[in-house]
Amino acid sequence: MIVMNSYKITTLNDFITLRQKDFPYAKGELSSLLSHIGTAAKIVNKKINKAGLVDIIGKAGMVNIQGENQQKLDVFADKVFTDALRSSGECCGIATEENQNEIVFSDKLAKKGKYIVSMDPLDGSSNIDYNVSVGSIFSIYRRITPRGKSVKNEDFLQPGSQQVAAVYVIYGSSTMLVYTTGNGVNGFTLDPSIGEFCLSHPSIKTPEEGKIYSINEGNYIYFPAGIKKYIKYCQEKDDNSARPYTSRYIGSLVSDFHRNLLMGGVFLYPSNDKMPQGKLRLVYECNPIAFIAEQAGGAASDGMSRILDISPGSLHQRSPFYAGSKNMVHRIEEFLR
């Protein structure tokens, strides 16, 4: 801990090391992995902050597995995080939105890594060129195949309940890193003057009830009947008081979720006629966000089941997604039943 101008600074690395004691058997591998993600996030952040000034915005001229145009920053972020995870020596392979199959780290050191990481290196990147905030999302598991061997697809298809850590970075008005290792949720804000993520939001707890619902109402006609009813519920005055709800939607998952996490609210991406399984990816978007939501006292569901209980069938499987204040998520489940 450093004291500067009479206020205490706890950097991300201090905090990770400090909290490592929560895990008697941890020998620092997870701490090192989280620190590498933090360092890579600072590199990506620098590029994002200059987007528009340097030739890093716009399309990379390639299409990813999703059939989406890859932005130059998508490709850049994917490479920076992949290199950081490979060089950490703690990670034996990754799954990323930008690649069809898992990436096996074949060097000896990495093969001994205990952990695998699934990531969306830059979520919402289509917003980059218009200065809307974006994010990076990481989901960390212990591998199930033996250490020293090459990682396999099955390592990446564990249910979200098996996560050992989940992290998101939000490149917004300030850059924040929020993570959990199963002992609560803590948020760190990047102080550019010292180049460190500093503890700014200790022990984040999300209100059980909130006033914000976040959904792309442009898809209204395609929504299931229960979601149409829920939207009307949020908008209608009930018999003795106006509904206190307000609609807030940025179109960037990490930004929409983060605001609701702190203020109370619910994020909805339902299945719809155009996307029967919804749009968001279970493995590297829904699971890590769900782990953080639950660790902050919130909930995350696909409308019927707890997101963290779902066993993924494939890396890029989509899921309907409702996450945020517990009572609001449960009320949506009732509307859908």
Binding site for ligand P6P (CB under 6 A): 123-124, 126, 216, 251-253, 256, 279
At its nearest, how many Å lie between ligand P6P and the CB of residue 206? 18
Tokens of 88: 């950490």
At its nearest, how many Å lie between ligand P6P and the CB of residue 216? 3
Q: Which is nearer to ligand P6P, 11 or 272 (CB)?
A: 272
Q: Which is nearer to ligand P6P, 156 or 267 (CB)?
A: 267
Q: Around 301, how many Cα atoms within 13 Å sit in the side-chain half-sphere?
A: 19
At its nearest, how many Å lie between ligand P6P and the CB of residue 321? 9
Residue whose C-alpha is closest to residue 37's, from 54, 12, 72, 17: 12
Q: Which is nearer to ligand P6P, 42 or 279 (CB)?
A: 279
The DSSP code sequence of 303-331 is SSSBGGG---SSTT-B--EEEESHHHHHH
At its nearest, how many Å lie between ligand P6P and the CB of residue 281? 8
* Backbone torsions φ then ψ of 300, nearest 5 degrees: -150, 130
How far is residue 158 from each of residues 133, 276, 277, 304, measured CA to CA in Å?
30, 23, 19, 19
Q: Which is nearer to ligand P6P, 123 or 155 (CB)?
A: 123
Q: Which is nearer to ligand P6P, 88 or 133 (CB)?
A: 133
In contact, 96 and 121? CB cutoff 8 Å:
yes
Q: Which is nearer to ligand P6P, 87 or 216 (CB)?
A: 216
At its nearest, how many Å lie between ligand P6P and the CB of residue 267? 7
Dist CA 33 CA 15 (whole Å): 14
For the chain, report the end-to-end CA distance as a whole number of angstroms: 50
At its nearest, how many Å lie between ligand P6P and the CB of residue 48? 15
